[in-house]
Chain A
Amino acid sequence: MINNRGEISPVFKYIFAIIAGVLILGFFVRFAFKQVDTSEQIESYTEIRSLEDQLISLSVSSSSVIPVNFYTKNKISLDPVNCDGLVISNNRLSTSQVIFSPEEFNSNFYIWTMNWKYPFRITNFFYLADKETLFVLVGEDLAKKLNGVKDPKTGILNDEAIPEVFSVEYYNNLNVDNIKQYLEDYDKVKVVFIDSKNTLTMEDSKLEVMEIKTNNKCLEDEEMDCSGDVIIGDKKYFFLGRPSIYAAIFSSNYGCSYQRALDKLDFMNSLYALKSSEMAKKDTKSCNYLSLKTLFLTKVKSPGDYYNKATQLESANQRLKEVDCNVIF
């Protein structure tokens, strides 16, 4: 007699094999998806670090434009609260740079940087935007020059022009039909009235409108002479120097980003005040560094006061050079 007690029915064997197979397959599939996630995160982190390095490298350039192409297809946004970071695929890049950009833009975009002096070099402004954001400039000479005018002989754009890599249109008089068409063709449209009345009444989630009122000195050689107001809805801000006009055009959160610029200006003033104080201690030529220190520490609020302070500082610094004293900046 044969006892079949120990034998397992083939059916149970097959069931056991199927369950084990499904578990192993499930494990590998889950592992594969996790790997893809991990690779994307690593790639994203590497890209962010590279972007940070690019921003740091560019911050010493007087004016440059570079393209940036990210692996991720997610949009990039500027921190709306403190304007001190870019958010890319759930990764946050904190930065000390002063960035002016639309609220959100594609992962393939351009960085344009420009030096801001007032009257000494303070920091670089970074203007970020993609080609799917259109800037429509409405106005007279200044708006035309910012859009860019090519020299008929050389084909080179004027110095004040926004680089050609960005999507910019110019109008003397705005046609609403054109705006409607642009809203269909672009992800975002920003209409900027420069020394011109805001005639646009339409509203759209993809549309931003602002006014810039200048002191009519923004086409002069001296960038510092250019100043004015930026009006966004019922809010009014000021700008100092021509690089600040571009800041207003590019930025969706101008007040926040510009405050960072003004904070840097304050810091540089304090730094130079401390330097003036040190120079005064060893002053054997009666260079009068202490009056310069007082000037650096003068608190100002209005654009007019900022401008007066800057021109006085520049004159005082020049005078030091003329009387053979060491300059402060």
Chain B
Amino acid sequence: MLFSKKGDVDLIEMIMVVIVILIILVLVGVFYFKFQKADIEEKTESLTEQRSDVLLSYITEMPELKCSVKAKEEKCLDTIKIMSFNQMYPKADYDTTFGFKSIKVSVVLPETKPGSCNEMFKKDYSNYSLECSEFVIYSMVKPNYKSKSVISTPVSLYYPDLDKYFIGKLTVETYE
């Protein structure tokens, strides 16, 4: 007695074709989603960079921080306003604008002792001007952040109590 195996082969052929098609679809899908994910990550990075650039210009013009000398607005940051702002800004409003960032100003010239000016301000230390070098405007660190991008720009710092200008560096650190 002879048994025809033609039908078995037919069936196996069909199943193999379907499996191969499925494998190809899965591979195409995997590559496509990887590509799309990379594209979205790139867009996010670009938007984050854009936001940091915008904030850098915005911060130097904020009425909450900008200095006025002889009742005229000037292109500088007022150190007392910076420290006052850091102490009392309404979180809800500025957390929305700034997000997970640290915004600081460090004194470049003349050289001052390293230290946080905000801490001295809180402790009511009167002669902080040459005893500290860093003003924190805003800080909200992202928990478990993977990386941070940093951009900075030079600024003029005005000390109203001394009526003097120092040179500083405004830094925006964005947590990702």
Residues of A bordering B, CB below 8 Å: 1-8, 13, 16, 20, 24, 27, 38, 42, 46, 49-50, 52-53, 56-57, 59-60, 84, 94-96, 120-123, 263, 267-268, 270-271, 274-275, 278-279, 281-282, 317-318, 321, 326-327, 329
**Contacts A2-B4, A6-B4; is A282 near B61 (CB within 8 Å)?**
no
Is the CB–CB distance between A121 and B81 below 8 Å?
no
Interface residues on B, range: 35 or more
Contact A318 B6 (CB under 8 A): no
Closest to B18 in A: A20
Contacts of A329 in B (CB 8 A): 68, 71
Residue B94 is within 8 A (CB to CB) of chain A in the complex? yes
Contact between B2 and A46, CB atoms less than 8 A apart: no
B85 to A271, Cβ gap below 8 A?
A: yes
In the bound complex, residues from chain B placing their C-beta under 8 Å from that of A94 are 96
18 further A-B pairs in the complex, CB-CB below 8 A; given A120-B63, A122-B63, A327-B68: A6-B11, A7-B4, A24-B21, A46-B43, A49-B50, A56-B55, A60-B61, A96-B96, A123-B63, A267-B90, A268-B64, A271-B85, A274-B84, A274-B88, A275-B81, A282-B126, A326-B161, A327-B71
Q: B145 in the interface, Cβ–Cβ < 8 Å? A: no
Partner of A95, one of B55, B80, B96: B96
A5 and B7 form a contact (CB under 8 A): yes
Question: Could you tell me the distance in whole angstroms from the C-beta of B42 to the nearest C-beta in chain A?
Answer: 12
A275 to B63, CA, bound (A): 14
CB-contact partner of B54 in A42, A53, A123, A279, under 8 A: A53
Given A16-B14, A57-B58, A122-B63, A96 and B93 touching (CB < 8 A)?
yes
Shortest CB-to-CB span from A113 to chain B, Å, is: 13
Within B1-47, which residues are at the interface with A (CB < 8 Å)?
Answer: 1-8, 10-11, 14, 18, 21, 25, 36, 40, 43, 47
Distance (whole angstroms) from the CB of A68 to the closest CB of chain B: 16
A-B pairs with lowest CB-CB distance, top 4: A6-B7, A7-B7, A60-B61, A96-B93
Q: Does B71 contact A318, Cβ atoms closer than 8 Å?
A: yes
Output the least CB separation between A310 and chain B (Å): 14
* Contacts known (A268-B64, A274-B87); A8 close to B7, Cβ less than 8 A: yes
Given A49-B47, A57-B57, verify A281-B69 contact (CB < 8 Å).
no
Known contacts A42-B43, A271-B85, A327-B70: A60-B64 contact under CB 8 Å: no
Query: Which A residues lie within 8 Å of B5 (CB)?
Result: 6
Interface set of B (CB-CB < 8 Å, partner A):
1-8, 10-11, 14, 18, 21, 25, 36, 40, 43, 47, 50-51, 54-55, 57-58, 61-64, 66, 68-71, 73, 78, 80-81, 84-85, 87-90, 92-94, 96-97, 121, 126, 160-161, 163
Residue of B nearest to A263 (CB): B90
Which of A122, A267, A279 is B80 in contact with, Cβ under 8 Å?
A279
Which residues of chain A have C-beta atoms less than 8 A from B64's C-beta?
Answer: 267-268, 271
28 A-B pairs in the complex with CB atoms less than 8 angstroms apart: A1-B1, A2-B4, A3-B4, A6-B4, A6-B7, A6-B8, A7-B4, A7-B7, A13-B10, A13-B14, A16-B14, A24-B25, A46-B47, A50-B47, A50-B50, A56-B97, A57-B54, A57-B57, A60-B58, A95-B97, A96-B92, A123-B63, A270-B88, A271-B64, A271-B84, A274-B80, A321-B70, A327-B70
* B71 x A3 contact (CB < 8 A): no
Whole-angstrom CA separation of A269 from B76 in the bound complex:
20
Let me know if B2 and A1 touch, CB within 8 A.
yes
One of B84, B88, B94 near A278 (C-beta < 8 A): B84
Closest chain B CB from A118 CB (angstroms): 11
A59 touches B70 (CB 8 A): no
**Known contacts A6-B6, A49-B47, A317-B71: A275-B58 contact under CB 8 Å:** no
Q: How far is the CB of A8 from chain B (nearest CB, A)?
A: 6
Contact with B161, one of A46, A56, A279 (Cβ below 8 angstroms): A279
A60, B57: Cβ atoms closer than 8 Å: yes
Task: Write out the residue numbers on chain A whose beta carbons fall within 8 Å of the beta carbon of B80.
Answer: 274-275, 278-279
List chain B residues, Cβ under 8 A from A6: 3-8, 10-11
Q: Determine whether the beta carbon of B2 is less than 8 Å from that of A282.
A: no
Q: Chain A residue with minimal CB distance to B127?
A: A282
In the bound complex, how far is the Cα of B18 from the Cα of A13, in angstroms?
Answer: 12
Question: A314: nearest residue on chain B (CB-CB)?
Answer: B71
Chain B residues, CB < 8 A from A96: 92-94, 96-97
